[in-house]
Chain A
Amino acid sequence: MKLNELAAGTNARVKTLQGDAHFLNRTASIGLTEGVPFQVVRNDRNMPMLLYVRETLLALNRADCERIEAEVKA
């Protein structure tokens, strides 16, 4: 499932991140790596997504969210 398809309140893990080295470096430096658990805090249309990851509340571009695959925790 793509990250931007997850509803607010969902707990999930990052499965894969797709993009060039620049994108991967950037996401890693803010705490988004493969396997990291996170919580979707808000997901509103035309707004950045709000994620809670590694004790940080992050606002992430919607376009970037489409490049991140996540799996919902059972």
Chain B
Amino acid sequence: MNRIALLGQPNSGKSTVFNQLTGSRQHVGNWPGKTVEKKDGTYTWNGQTYTVTDLPGSYGLSGNSDEEVITENYIKSGEADLVCVLVDASQLQRSMYMLAEFAELDTPAVLLLNMMDVAKMQNKEINAELLQEHLGIPVLPFTAAENKDYDALKTLFEKELASPHKLASVPVSADGAEVSAQDKYDWIDRMLAGVSEQRNTVYVMSKLDQKMTRPVLGKLISLGFVLLAFIAAFIICMPFMLIGSMIPPLLNPPIANFLNSLHVHPWAVSVFSLIIPNTLYFSISMEAFVFGVSTAFGYLEEIGMLARIAYQFDGILSKLGLQGKAVAPILMGFGCTIGGTTGTRVMDNWGQKMLAMAVVWAVPCGSIWAVMPVISGMFFPAWGTVLVCLGILLYMLVMMWIVAKVFGPKLSPESARAGMVMELPPVHKAHWGHILKEALYKAWDIFNRALRTVSLISLIFWALSYSSSGALEASLLYRIGTAIEPVTKIFGLGWRTFMGFLSSAFAKEAVLGVLNAIFVGQSSVLDATFNAKTVTMDAAALTGMMLQNVSKAEALAFIFACTFNVPCVMALSTTYRESHSLKWTARVAGFYIGGALILSGIVYHIASLFM
């Protein structure tokens, strides 16, 4: 077997190397019994297959977290034939700490001096040959984002697997006691003697950093960058979304006509002509959005800007038990919760990641901001709608706080928060090829899963709302809805609005269409849900019917219930996929559904006093 493991600190470029080596031949699973993500991949080189394992990110191997324990045990198990240790050439002394911790494990290794481009930019000279001589293992100068460096890396792996080398020297303690951190740095200094000049120069902040690190100005600049990133993301994804939106009207009639001409059962007709084209449309939209957001935020991350934004918001987020890094996923959540949940990959450990996702759910996504003001506008004057939106923003902060208080102690215990640090890499040029490639991987992954998840959920929803006569009263949804109405009334939701609430868990943009179908009854609930964006609706008729059947207090309760309900099913499935924990995804989802109903009840009963 040719099994290589990648080891390095979070900012060492490890995942870039992994992705570039293995491309789409990746398998993502769990480490046995843990929620920590296990990433394996393969590549072929000179006719041989190589397996690469991306070891969970950690700063060291001292057993501080699940990630570190897994990494240490994996290397100790000897499963990997070769460990590739990555260090940041621009911060050589500090990032060699991982190698110093690894040294005690006595395993064949190679050292990758990554980020040579940044080191060069800072005029840092590194004598890789001398370092190789000191260490006794091969040392390869490298830039992970440069495609041309990978042939040398694969050649090196091939050679080393045939005749491996181990570190010639390991850190030892001066007095025979346990090897201390100081001993490790002393060892690093010995290894680096003559290799790179230890310039103890005074650090001078760049002009940009002088502004970016100021408490108020820095936050404003950060928000500006995020806003620009959103605009860029939309420009990137718009063309794809437009093409996607043309699919249902293009495919629906021909498929329906064709199947009707074959005289197949109407059930099958609606499955193939409604669900499949719309699933395609949904999936393409999501894929496009994730691609746009990943490209824009990938750029901010790559040039080092995201770290500065994270630094600005660390103080605020630490009150929620989150690292500053969570700021990017939370802001992405205003666009799309799916983008936000995939954005939590930057977090240091699983607990932080899961907590960040739970908090991101509270952020109302773009679809909510498109739909809720419309519903509010039916019941309240313009200034009232402004108040409703402000109320949503305010409750968002409350909900984030509640979620952090409820799940924080378990996911991010006080003890694990110690030493929560990040580094601000020097701002540098972006490698576009690499950014686009990573964004494509993410988008492709979302597309694949969206196809599966959306089809499945669509089928379930379709079955619930199917009615042979076309009348709403014949559907399962109606029967269930009216049966439990006495219960939902407690929360201020009649059976109609409760159905709207249920559909908000499917897709927020479906809410308006579903309300239209239920109240006006011109199109079926089925069409309304799956053709959310194409069904024409008579706004005046809907407004009239809603005003007749729903009180203002009920409407307000409904708006809050839908906004703070679980995000759409795709966001749920993405959270499951990112967290690898069905238990936690279900737990948080249950909390949100319960929370939304209770919130709805509170809003309804309070509003009833005034309206």
Binding site for B on A (CB under 8 A): 11, 19-31, 33-37, 39, 41-42, 44-48, 50, 52-62, 64
Contact = CB atoms under 8 A, between A and B. Distances in A.
Contacts of A27: 419
Contacts of A56: 91, 94, 423
B94 to A, nearest CB: 4
B320 to A, nearest CB: 14
Contact of A57 (B181, B416, B418, B424): B424
B213 interface: yes
Given A20-B418, A46-B215, A50-B213, A59 B181 contact: no
Given A30-B94, A54-B94, A59-B423, A64 B62 contact: no
A44 B476 CA distance: 60
Contacts of B424: 50, 57-59
B59 A59 contact: no
B184 interface: yes
Main secondary structure of the interface of A (DSSP, over half): mixed
B4 to A, nearest CB: 23
A64 B418 contact: yes
Nearest to B416: A22
Contacts, number: 117
A44 B97 contact: no
Contacts of A21: 62
B421 A60 contact: yes
B311 A29 contact: no
Contacts of A44: 214-215
A38 B526 CA distance: 65
Interface residues of B, number: 43
B315 A46 contact: yes
Contacts of B523: none
B419 A59 contact: no
A50 B324 CA distance: 14
14 contacts: A25-B60, A25-B181, A26-B59, A26-B64, A29-B60, A29-B101, A30-B419, A33-B182, A47-B311, A47-B314, A58-B421, A59-B421, A59-B422, A64-B419
Interface of B: 9, 59-60, 62, 64, 90-94, 97-98, 101, 181-182, 184-185, 200, 202-203, 205, 213-215, 310-312, 314-315, 318, 324, 415-426
A22 B64 contact: yes
Given A39-B202, A50-B213, A34 B94 contact: no
Contacts of A48: 311, 314-315, 324, 421
Contacts of B420: 61, 64
B540 to A, nearest CB: 51
Contacts of B215: 44-47
A23 B419 contact: yes
Contacts of A28: 60, 97, 181, 184
Contacts of A50: 213, 311, 424
A34 B64 CA distance: 20
Contacts of A61: 314, 318, 417, 419-421
Specify which of A29, A52, A57, A58 lies most central, judged by the most chain B CB atoms within 10 Å of its CB: A29
